[in-house]
Amino acid sequence: MRGTLKGALGEYLYVCILDLNDSLPSLSPVPLDQVTRIAKRLLLSKEELRALFAKYYAKSFRISPDECWSYLERALWPAPSSLHKPTRDPASIARAPQPKEVEQVLDLPGGRTEAVWRDAKAVAEFAAENPALGGRQ
């Protein structure tokens, strides 16, 4: 799969998997945005994305594949209540938000939460695919 969009998507999913299985779990907005852009370009359904995710999940990870997918799924298809207009908080994020970004509050393993700034267009387009947000299936 190397050298293909689907291969790149798998690599970005793997980065997300590693991030969620870290001792201090987090999710970087860049891999999340890349997953949304590539999956949208490939016209993958949620089920197809889940199947690709499963190919990259190792049995030795700290949390179960179902638990990891649950966190990742909520990050990729966010509830509207988790999205906010970004505000600069020097204590939590070192750089100023960009005009086309949205703040997303992520739930993470261990009861942690984290606010990240995501590309607003990527989030909106991908979230439109979520029936719970009024999008199509």
Q: Is 20 exposed, middle or buried (0-12, 13-18, 19+ CB in 10 A)?
A: buried
Q: What is the mean pLDDT, run by run of 10 residues, along the chain of 137 residues?
A: 81 96 92 93 93 92 95 90 72 62 88 86 70 41
Phi, psi of 129, deg, nearest 5: -80, -10
Q: What is the pLDDT of residue 19?
A: 95
For the chain, how long is the longest CA-to-CA vector? 41
pTM, two decimal places: 0.80
